[in-house]
């Protein structure tokens, strides 16, 4: 995806250019910086985004992201700036304030940290207009569907098909394929629209994801590629992972090691990639959800959907953007989200089966082994669960852990693995006293107030 940066002040072309340079991995083909009555704004983009971006410039619009409700949009009305972020937060944006109380913004934190530590995330569904920040969207559960599950499953499948089809705008398309239900569903739905469809899986040798991904790829008919990881490769790529991800969250880093590796391999073949992110949150894919009373399931799903923007969706964005890919996250298409939030809870978990209605929708499109596969977290299915945590236990002394575990903002690191990641994080980003912009995995011992994967 492309990148955007700017400041609510004129005459700042040099500053904005430097901000864009820190995000050059997101697009080195085109660059545009302009001034309005109240701001300086710039954008970079990739070759395959060029034609669309040029058309939007003619309408005084800078838009980052694949569109279809997944965007950060900056527009100029009477030469005044307004900024809008998509409803679920697939495309990132951060705000900062400098010493002169001027607001700056950028697609990644690394563009703002040299200028200010007063950084916050511009939240999904927010808008800046007339120099005021407000919300145009709040995630809420809709009126429950009063239909039998066969009809709901059919309508859900039709919505997913349409959402996939409108995102296929060139032939260089593929999918990150873990062999789980969600990623396999995306590959199966996209496959008919492309003559040659690519799929990519990653993990350590013998990992479950590799086996199931091969089965799904053979059934769907893709040109399948695998990235085999070991401890040496993971440790080598780890600094790049943390730099791109802008996080030291242990579980998020683990899954990003695989995701970034697979994205790197995919960039040799495709420009657009489908991801299965969001399926677990919309359709109750996590095992702990089965222990909740059915009356509490809907509110819990709303909660974990609202946390996606700075955890799993951040991983997807950074992994794709690091190599100039455009990621399509169809499960959080606005129409799909609206419909999924109306599906009764008893059709999401039924007879102890998670994502029951989604499995029913995909029946016949995937092999039974994939349809019936239980949920495995990305880093577990890929086989990386304990490799780096065991390495961290060996290289970090107990005394060092006790001395370094408390961070300047008050967070406490509860494992040596987290400290191992934080040490790398510090090399790139220092020790910010404000980390409000950083998402944390739900259930993390460090912070129980942020996202899940």
Please report, for residues 43, 322, 423, the alpha-carbon distance to residue 315 in angstroms, rounded to integers and kept in the order given: 21, 11, 20
- The string of DSSP codes covering 146-208 is -S-HHHHHHHHHHHHHHHHHTT--SS-EEEE--SSHHHHHHHHHHGGG-SS-EEEEEEETT-H
In the numeric block, the tokens 């705000």 are attached to 95
Residues in a beta bridge with 70? 67
CB of 10 closer than 8 Å to CB of 38: yes
The pLDDT assigned to 451 comes to 32
Indicate where the chain has its CATH 3.60.20.10 domain(s).
3-135
Question: CB 132: neighbour CB atoms within 10 A?
Answer: 7
Question: CB 299: neighbour CB atoms within 10 A?
Answer: 11
Instruction: Show Cβ contacts of residue 267 under 8 Å, excluding neighbours closer than 6 positions.
Output: 323, 324, 325
Angle among Cα 240, 244, 248 to the nearest 5 degrees reads: 85
Rounded to a whole number, what is the largest CA-CA distance in the chain? 63
Per the document, the length of the chain is: 453
Indicate where the chain has its CATH 3.40.50.620 domain(s).
149-383
Q: Parallel, antiparallel, or unpaired: how do β-strands 272-275 and 173-176 relate? A: parallel
The pLDDT assigned to 382 comes to 66
Rounded Cα distance, 315 and 378, in Å: 11
What proportion of the chain, given as a percentage, has pLDDT over 90? 88
Rounded Cα distance, 188 and 304, in Å: 26
Alpha helix ranges (H) inside 175-307: 181-190, 208-220, 231-245, 250-266, 279-283, 294-305
Span 3-135 CATH architecture = 4-Layer Sandwich (3.60)
The pLDDT profile of the chain, 453 residues, written as one tens digit per residue, is 899 999 999 999 999 999 999 999 999 999 999 998 889 999 999 998 999 899 998 888 999 999 999 999 999 877 788 999 999 999 999 999 999 999 999 999 999 999 999 999 999 999 999 889 999 999 999 999 999 999 999 999 999 999 999 999 888 999 999 999 999 999 999 999 999 999 999 999 999 999 999 999 999 999 999 999 999 999 999 999 999 999 999 999 999 999 999 999 999 999 999 999 999 999 999 999 999 999 999 999 999 999 999 999 999 999 999 999 999 999 999 999 999 999 999 999 999 999 999 999 999 999 999 999 987 666 566 678 789 999 999 999 999 999 999 999 999 998 999 999 999 999 999 999 999 999 988 765 543 333 333
In the numeric block, the tokens 């995630």 are attached to 139
User: What kind of fold does domain 149-383 have according to CATH?
Assistant: Rossmann fold (3.40.50)
Six token digits for residue 253: 């880093």
Strand order in the sheet with 173-176: 223-229, 198-204, 173-176, 272-275, 326-329
- Shortest CA distance to 387 belongs to which of 205, 245, 234? 234
């Amino acid at each position: 995806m492309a990148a955007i940066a700017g400041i609510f002040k004129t005459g700042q072309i040099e500053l904005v250019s430097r901000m864009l340079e820190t995000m050059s991995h997101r697009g080195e083909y085109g660059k545009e910086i302009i001034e309005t009555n109240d701001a300086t704004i710039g954008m970079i983009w990739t070759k395959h985004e060029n034609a669309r971006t040029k058309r939007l410039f003619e309408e005084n619009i800078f838009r980052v992201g694949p569109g279809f409700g997944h965007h950060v949009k900056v527009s100029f009305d009477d030469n005044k700036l307004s900024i809008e972020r998509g409803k679920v937060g697939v495309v990132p944006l951060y705000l900062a304030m400098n010493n002169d109380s001027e607001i700056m913004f950028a697609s990644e934190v690394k563009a703002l940290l040299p200028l200010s530590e007063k950084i916050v995330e511009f939240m999904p569904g927010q808008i800046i207009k007339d120099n005021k920040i407000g919300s145009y969207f709040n995630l809420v559960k809709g009126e429950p569907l009063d239909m039998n599950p066969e009809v709901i499953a059919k309508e859900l499948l039709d919505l997913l098909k349409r959402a996939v089809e409108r995102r296929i705008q060139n032939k260089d398309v593929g999918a990150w394929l873990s062999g789980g239900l969600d990623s396999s569903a995306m590959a199966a739905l996209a496959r008919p629209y492309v003559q040659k469809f690519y799929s990519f899986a990653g993990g350590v040798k013998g990992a479950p994801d590799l086996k199931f991904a091969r089965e799904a790829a053979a059934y769907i008919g893709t040109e399948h590629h695998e990235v085999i990881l070991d401890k040496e490769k993971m440790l080598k790529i780890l600094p790049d992972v943390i730099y791109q991800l802008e996080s030291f969250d242990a579980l998020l880093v683990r899954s990003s090691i695989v995701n970034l590796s697979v994205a790197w391999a995919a960039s040799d073949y495709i420009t657009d990639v489908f991801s299965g992110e969001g399926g677990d949150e919309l359709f109750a894919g996590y095992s702990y959800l089965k222990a909740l009373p059915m009356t509490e399931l809907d509110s819990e799903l709303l909660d974990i959907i609202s946390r996606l923007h700075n955890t799993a969706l951040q991983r997807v964005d950074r992994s794709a953007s690091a190599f100039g890919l455009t990621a399509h996250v169809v499960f959080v298409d606005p129409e799909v989200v609206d419909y999924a939030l109306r599906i009764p809870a008893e059709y999401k978990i039924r007879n102890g089966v998670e994502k029951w209605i989604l499995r029913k929708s995909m029946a016949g499109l995937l092999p039974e082994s994939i349809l019936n596969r239980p949920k495995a977290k990305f880093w577990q299915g890929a086989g990386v669960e304990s490799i780096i945590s065991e390495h961290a236990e060996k290289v970090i002394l107990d005394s060092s852990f006790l001395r370094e575990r408390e961070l300047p903002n008050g967070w406490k690191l509860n494992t040596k693995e987290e400290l191992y990641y934080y040490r790398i994080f510090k090399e790139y980003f220092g020790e910010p006293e404000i980390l409000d912009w950083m998402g944390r995995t739900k259930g993390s011992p460090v912070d129980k107030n942020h996202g899940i994967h």
